């Protein structure tokens, strides 16, 4: 397969006006991928908290005055990809998870109210309990862990206000320009991956163009990956595609139990649009190619 080929399902956003965008969490894994896509096409101010990246500005979400002042600086769009993301960390400190994942959304809403600035909150499939075959936007949420509860609470704030957008995304895989939380799992001699967790993961480089196709919408949207796989299958296939020496060890049930409950099956599908991430074969060929 030609690695230069655009993966199937990889959409190109329609030519858009150049927007002024605030990207919160640009130093993160997902935020870095979004920065790569957005920065050449729009006027983007990106933020970091603890990992300084040249060109990004420092912001702690807990500095509410600074967050509000930044958000009120006349942006067309605020893409919110910052917060406490590791599920175990959120489970261990629910107050901190609320402080970083929920409270900043209140501050942002207050800051942009009436200004015409739109908020795009990146949310998660962890707002669901994972007992259904697939999840569409209107399906009832029932988070089983602290992280999922904070994402649901942040969604509620945004949706109560109206005029803004929540995009729920699943597990994201790929290589970020600076933060690589996904590939870090394959950095050691072995990695444990669960055979009893099913997902429809999304390839990072497809996310920016997909959001650019969707950000004129309001309410809740899902953006899921095309293929449904277990975590073990995903890690094994990424390991194989990149020819890494890491041994991927299958685990399930008791042996895989962690401090945090995880929904067993998370497949995001949309009734509001037709976009899906690229299929796994195309995404892995791209990931292994020279152009990532
Ligand atoms: N990764 C996934 O598979 C996935 C799946 C579904 C949804 N999401 C959502 O996507 C978003 C980004 O996730 P990610 O995987 O990119 O996480 P990540 O790599 O951990 O990045 C988190 C970002 O938040 C920033 N941040 C953390 N604490 C902060 C604070 N106190 N003040 C200001 N910024 C702070 C980090 O800055 P520093 O790094 O500079 O400290 C970083 O830029 C989150 O909303 C997450 O819920 C991710």
pLDDT classification of 252: cutoffs 50, 70, 90 = confident
How confident is residue 5, by pLDDT bands cut at 50, 70 and 90?
A: very low
208-237 tens-digit pLDDT: 999 999 999 999 999 999 999 999 999 999
Residue of 48, 135, 147, 203 with catalytic role: 147
- pLDDT attached to residue 214: 96
Mutate to test the pocket of ligand 1, among 22, 44, 49 (most ligand atoms within 8 A of CB): 49
pLDDT computed for residue 50 by the predictor: 97
The C-alpha atoms of residue 170 and residue 106 are separated, in whole angstroms, by: 24
Is 250 buried (19+), middle (13-18) or exposed (0-12) by CB count in 10 A? middle
Per-residue model confidence as pLDDT tens digits over 7-47:
444 555 555 689 999 999 999 999 999 999 999 999 999 99
For the chain, domains (ranges, CATH) are 20-288 (3.40.50.720)
CA atoms within 13 A on the CB side of 266: 27
What spacing in Å lies between the alpha carbon of 34 and ligand 1's midpoint? 12
> Is pLDDT of 1 > 90?
no
Rounded to whole angstroms, the Cα distance separating 247 from 207 reads 29
Question: For residues 8 and 256, which has the higher predicted lDDT (pLDDT)?
Answer: 256
Residue 88 backbone dihedrals phi, psi, to 5 degrees: -65, -40
Q: Is 147 a catalytic residue?
A: yes
| C-beta of residue 27 within 8 angstroms of C-beta of residue 82 | no
pLDDT at 4 (0 to 100)? 34
């Amino acid at each position: 397969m030609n690695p230069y080929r655009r993966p199937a399902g990889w959409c190109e956003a329609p030519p858009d006006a150049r927007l002024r965008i605030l990207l919160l969490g640009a130093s993160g894994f997902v935020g870095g991928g979004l920065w790569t896509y957005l920065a050449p096409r729009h006027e983007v101010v990106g933020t970091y908290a603890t990992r300084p990246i040249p060109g990004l500005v420092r912001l702690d979400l807990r500095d509410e005055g600074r967050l509000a002042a930044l958000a009120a600086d006349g942006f067309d769009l605020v893409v919110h990809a910052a917060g406490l993301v590791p599920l175990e960390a959120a489970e261990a400190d629910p107050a901190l998870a609320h402080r970083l994942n929920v409270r900043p959304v209140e501050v942002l809403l207050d800051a942009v109210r009436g200004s015409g600035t739109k908020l795009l909150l990146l949310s998660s499939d962890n707002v669901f309990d994972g007992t259904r075959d697939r999840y569409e936007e209107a399906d009832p949420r029932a988070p089983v862990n602290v992280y999922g509860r904070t994402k649901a609470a942040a969604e509620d704030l945004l949706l109560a206000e109206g005029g803004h957008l929540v995009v729920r995304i699943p597990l994201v895989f790929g290589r970020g320009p600076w933060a690589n939380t996904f590939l870090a799992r394959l950095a050691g001699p072995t990695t444990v991956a669960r055979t009893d967790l099913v997902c429809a993961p999304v390839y990072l480089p497809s996310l920016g163009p997909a959001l650019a196709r969707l950000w004129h919408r309001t309410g809740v949207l899902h953006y899921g990956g095309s293929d449904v796989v277990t975590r073990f299958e995903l890690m094994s296939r990424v390991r194989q595609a990149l020819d890494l020496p890491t041994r991927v060890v299958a685990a399930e049930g008791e042996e895989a139990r962690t401090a945090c409950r995880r929904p067993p099956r998370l497949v995001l599908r949309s009734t509001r649009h037709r976009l899906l991430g690229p299929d796994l074969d195309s995404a892995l060929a791209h990931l292994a190619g020279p152009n990532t």
